[in-house]
Chains A and B, each alone.
Chain A
Amino acid sequence: MKNVATQSTSRHWSQRLLGVERRNWRPALLFVLPAFVLLLSITIYPLVRTLALSFVTLELSVSPVERFNGLGNFTKALTADPRFGNAMLNTAILAVIGVTIQVVLGMALALMASEMGRTRAVWVTLFMIPIMIAPVVSGFQFRVIFNDTFGPLNYLIREVSNGTIRPPPWTASTSTSLLTIMITDIWQWTPFMLLLLLAGLDSLSQEVIEAARVDGANYWQQLIRIKIPILLPILIIGILIRMMDTFKTFDLVVLLTEGGPGSSSETVAYYTYVNGFKFFSMGYTAALAFIQLVVIVVVSRGFLSLQQRQRGDLR
C-alpha cells in the first residue's frame, strides 16, 4: 500500500494531469491548449466574472462603477424580493405540473403508438410537428388562439355553449395567464416525451412481456409492474431535460403574457432578464442567475442519483 502511494506521487505531472508519458508532454499540451484556452475564455471566465459580479452593486443606469456588496444581492433575492419568490413559484409550477402532464400524455401516446401497425410512422411524424416549430412561432400561434376577441378557442366555447359559458380572457387574467404558458409548453414538448418513451418501449424485450402475459398479467399489470419500471431510467432523464428547459422558460412568457397581468406569469428567467436588460442592475442579475444555477444543479443531482439507483436496482 505504501509502495503504491509512493509510486503515485513520484509519477510525473504529465502522467497525473494529462495521462501521457513524460516524453510526450509537450505535444500533448500543445493539442490540449487551444481547447483549454477556448473553454477558459467562453465558459470559465464568464462564469467566474458573473460570480464576482454577484457580490457587487453595479447599476449601469447611473454609473459603471462597481461597489462591493458582500452577500447583499443574495440576501435581497432570498428574503426581500417577493417578485423573485413569485417568479420561482411560477417556474416550479410549470416545471412540476407541466412536466408531469407531459410525462403522462407522452406515455399514453407512446403506448398507443407502440400498438399501432403500418400507420405508426405517419402518426409519429404528425405528433412530432409541434417539436419542429420554433417556440417563437408556437408562442405567437397560441397568442392568437387565446385571444378573447378574435381567438378561435373562445369563439368555439361560446358557440358550443350557445353563449351560456363566458370563457375567460386567457392571457389577460391572473388566474389563467400562467396556464396559457403551461398549455403551450405541453403542446410543444409532449412529443419529446413520446419520442423518448417510444424508443424505450421499442427496446423492451418482447420475451419478458410474453412471459408476463403467459403468467396471466393483464394490460395494466404489465404496464405498472414491467414496462414502467424498465422505462424508469429513460423517464428520469426525460423529466430532467424537460425540467431544466422549463426552468429557462422565457420566449413563451414574452410572447404570450409579458409576465402579466401584474406579475402573475413571470418566470425566473424572465425576471432575471428584466433585471439585467431593462434595469441594468448587473450585480443583482448575476446573483439571480447564480441562485438559478444552484437550484438546477441540485435538482439535476437529485434526478441523476435517482436514475443511478434505478439502474442499480434493475441490474
Chain B
Amino acid sequence: MHTSRRWFVLLSIFVVIIAAGVVIAQTEAPQPLGVTEFDLCPTFDPPVTVTVVGDAGHNLAPYQFWQTDFEAMGINIEVVEVPFADVYQKLKTEFVAQTGAFDVVTFYPAYIGDFASNGYLLPLDDFMTREPAGVWDPRQDDVLAPFRELYNKFGGQTYALTIDGDVLVMMYRTDLFNNEEEKAAFQAAYGRELTPPQTWDEWLQVSEFFTRAAGETLAGETLTENFYGSAEFAKRSFSFAWFMNRAASAGVIYFDENMNPGINSPEAIAALQNMVDGLQYAPADVLNFGYDELRDIFIQGRAAMVVQWTDVPKKAADPNQSQIVGNVGVGRVPGTLVGDTIVHRSMMPVGRVVSVAADTDVPEAAFCVAKHIAYNRSLEDVSTALTGLDPYRQSHLDNVGAFAALMGEENAAAYLEGLTQALADGFPEIFIPGSAQYNDALDLEVNRALAGEISAEEALNNVAARWNEITDTLGRDNQIAVWRQALESYRALGLIQ
C-alpha cells in the first residue's frame, strides 16, 4: 500500500510537470496586436482537418500561436515537419506520387516554377476575389512587389502567398565601430575613417582590421578567445547566395536572353575571389557555417560583422539568445564600385510561401489557413523573436510599434529602414523550372573554390558548362521561353536594367 501511494505521488508530480510544460509551451506566443483588420472564415461544420507541411522549427510555430483562431473556423490543424533541406524533395515526391498527403504546402519560392507549371498547386485568384473581402482577400496589394510578383505568381496567376520575406542585410557591431580607440587605430592603419563597409573591398579591409587572436585587445578588453572580422555562409546549400551578393552588384546576371551563362564573366570571377579572400578573416571551420553557425557567431559576440537574413537582428535583440543586445547595426549589403557609383545587391534566398495543393479535399479550408498565416496574423508573426519569419508587406514596414516591443523604438526604426533599403537592393535566385539543379551546380563550384580545391575562374567556368548541360537536358527552347518571362519580371521590378 505504502509503495502504491509513493508511486501515485510520483506519477502525479510527473503529470503536473508535463502539464505545466505544455501550458508554458502553449502560452509562449505573440500577443495579438489588433492592427490588421480581417474576418475569419465562416465556421466549417462539421469541422475539417487541414494538413500543413513545412520546414521544421520555429517557422511552423504560428500554427500553434493561432490555434484558437483555427478552432473558431472549425479547422483542426495537423502539422508535418520536414527538415529544412528536404522540403523540395518531400513535396515533389508526394506531388509526383499524387498522394494527397498535404492540403497547405510551405516551400521556398525558387520552386514555384516547378510546382505551378506541373499543376501541383491550385490557382488562388478565384478565392482571393470572393466576397466579403475581409474574409477572402489576402491584400496582395500590400505585399511588396518583388515578393508578390516573383514569389507568388507564375504565368500571371497567383499560386502562393508569401509568409516570409527573406532578403539579406549586413549586420555589424555598433559598439566596436563607435569605439574611439578602434576608430583611431583603423584611421592609422588604413588612412580612412572606420565605417561599416560600403564596398566588398572595404569589407575585406574592415574584416582584416577586426580579426584578432585570443590575448589581443579589442575595444579596450583582452580577448579570451579568437575574434573574427567577419564570417560567411560557406556551407553547401546557400553559399552561392553570398557569392551572388558580390557578383550581382558587379552587374552579373545568371543568363542572357538566350540562356547563355553570364556567370563566368571577369566581374563574377573577381567577386568569387573576393569571397575566397574574405575567408581568411573567418573561423577555420567556416566551410561548415550555415544559418545557425553564422547567426551564433554574431549574436554570441565573436564576429564584427556578417551578412545574414533579416530575422537575425530580432534574435540579436533578444537577451535570451544574444550577448550583443543593443549593439547591432543594420546596413546595406556592401556593393561594387561601377563607374563612380556603388551598386548594392542583396540576395533574396529562401523565403517562404504557402500554397494550396491541387489534390486537396478541403480547398476552401486550406485557403483560409493560408490566408490567416499570410495576412491576418502576419504582423504578429514577423515582429516576434519566436519565429524566423521576416517582413514582406508595406504594412509590416510601416508598423515600427510592432517591432519596438522587441528591440526598442530607435532600433526598430533602424531595422525597418535597413530592411526597406535591402529590399530595394534585392536580387532574386533562379526561379525557373530546374532551379534546384542550376542552384546546386553553382553552389557546388562556389564551395569548391571556397575550399581551395580549384580557382575561382575554374569554378565559374565549370558552372557555365554545367548550366549549359542542364539547359540542354531540360529542353533549351522551353527554358529560354520561361527565362525570358523571368527577365521581364526582373526588369519590371527594377531588379535588373
A261-B236, A262-B444, A279-B440 are contacts. A148–B283 as well, Cβ < 8 Å?
yes
Q: Do B236 and A61 have beta carbons less than 8 Å apart?
A: no
Instruction: Verify if A171 is at the interface (C-beta below 8 Å from B).
Output: yes
Closest A residue to B95 by beta carbon equals A60
Within 8 A of B (CB), among A245-292: 258-264, 274, 277-281
A172 within 8 Å of B by Cβ?
A: yes
Interface segment, one of B261-269, B409-417, B431-439? B431-439
- How far is the CB of A177 from the nearest CB of chain B, in Å? 9
Q: Which of A62, A173, A278 contacts B88 (CB 8 A)?
A: A278
Q: Are the CB atoms of B448 and A262 closer together than 8 Å?
A: yes
Determine the distance from Cα of A30 to Cα of B386 in the docked complex, in whole angstroms: 62
Judge whether B436 and A147 touch: CB under 8 Å: no
Whether the pair A173, B92 counts as a contact (CB closer than 8 A) is no
- Tally of B interface residues using CB under 8 Å: 35
Chain B residues, Cβ within 8 Å of A62: 114, 117, 433-434, 474-475, 478
- Tell me whether A203 is interfacial, beta carbon within 8 Å: no
In the complex, A260→B450 CA distance in Å?
Answer: 11
Pairwise interchain contact B283-A149, C-beta atoms closer than 8 A: yes
CB atoms of B436 and A264 under 8 A apart = no
Q: Which residues of chain A are within 8 angstroms of B453 by Cβ–Cβ distance?
A: 174, 261-262, 264
**Chain A residues numbered 155-179 whose CB sits less than 8 Å from any CB in chain B:** 166, 168-169, 171-174
B284 at the interface (CB under 8 A from A): yes
Query: Which residue from B114, B236, B474 sits with its C-beta under 8 Å from A259?
Result: B236
Contact with B along A57-75 (1 / 0, CB 8 A): 1011111100000000000
How far does the alpha carbon of A61 sit from the alpha carbon of B114 in the complex, in Å?
Answer: 6
On whether A59 and B444 interact (CB within 8 A), knowing A261-B451, A262-B453, A278-B89, the answer reads no
Q: How far is the CA of A55 from the CA of B433 in the complex (A)?
A: 23
Pair B448/A274 contact, Cβ less than 8 Å: no
**Option from A169, A258, A277 in Cβ contact (under 8 Å) with B284:** A169
Residues from 96 to 139 in B contacting A, C-beta threshold 8 Å: 96, 114, 117-118
Q: In chain A, what residue has the closest Cβ to B296? A: A149
Residue in A closest to B293 when the chains form the complex, CB atoms: A149
Residue of B nearest to A166 (CB): B284
CB distance from B82 to the nearest CB of A (A): 12
Complex CA distance for A171 and B285, rounded to whole angstroms: 8
Residues in A with CB closer than 8 Å to B286 are 172
Taking A148-B288, A174-B451 as contacts, is the C-beta distance between A277 and B283 under 8 angstroms?
A: no
CB <8 Å contact, B444 and A263: yes
Q: Assess A171 versus B288: contact at CB under 8 Å? Given A59-B473, A258-B235, A278-B89.
A: yes
- Contacts of B475 on A, CB cut-off 8 Å? 62-63
Total A-B residue contacts, Cβ distance less than 8 Å: 98
B residues 444-497 near A (Cβ < 8 Å) are 444-445, 447-448, 450-453, 473-475, 478
B436 near A169 with CB under 8 A, answer: no
A261 to B459 alpha-carbon distance, docked (Å): 14
Cβ of B287 < 8 Å from any Cβ of A?
yes
- Contact check, A278 vs B448: say whether CB atoms are below 8 A apart: no
A279:B237 contact, CB within 8 angstroms: no
Q: Do the beta carbons of A173 and B287 come within 8 Å of each other?
A: yes
Interface pair B434/A61, CB less than 8 Å apart: yes
B93 at the interface (CB under 8 A from A): yes
Partner of A258, one of B236, B452, B474: B236
Contacts A62-B478, A171-B285; A277 near B440 (Cβ below 8 A): no
Distance of A146 from chain B, by nearest CB (Å): 9
A147 to B297, CA, bound (A): 14
Cβ–Cβ contact B288 & A172, under 8 A: yes
CB <8 Å contact, A264 and B451: yes
In the docked arrangement, what's the CA distance between A262 and B284, Å?
16
A260 CA / B453 CA spacing, docked (Å): 11
CB neighbours of A64 from chain B (8 A) = 96, 118
A147 to B444, CA, bound (A): 22
Q: Which of A57, A83, A169, A274 contacts B288 (CB 8 A)?
A: A169
Q: Which residues of B contact A60 (CB under 8 A)?
A: 92, 96, 118
Report yes or no: A147 in contact with B285, Cβ–Cβ below 8 A.
Answer: yes
> Please, which residues of chain A bring their CB within 8 A of the CB of B117?
62
Query: How far does the Cβ of A65 sit from chain B's closest Cβ, in whole Å?
Result: 10
Give the complex CA separation of A60 and B96 in angstroms.
Answer: 8
What are 13 residue pairs bridging A and B, where the CB atoms are less than 8 Å apart in the complex?
A57-B473, A62-B474, A62-B475, A83-B444, A258-B236, A258-B237, A261-B287, A262-B444, A263-B444, A263-B448, A264-B451, A277-B89, A280-B96
Interface residue ranges, B against A (CB under 8 Å): 85, 88-89, 92-93, 96, 114, 117-118, 235-237, 283-288, 433-434, 436-437, 440, 444-445, 447-448, 450-453, 473-475, 478
4 closest A-B pairs by beta carbon, nearest first, are A169-B285, A262-B448, A148-B285, A261-B451
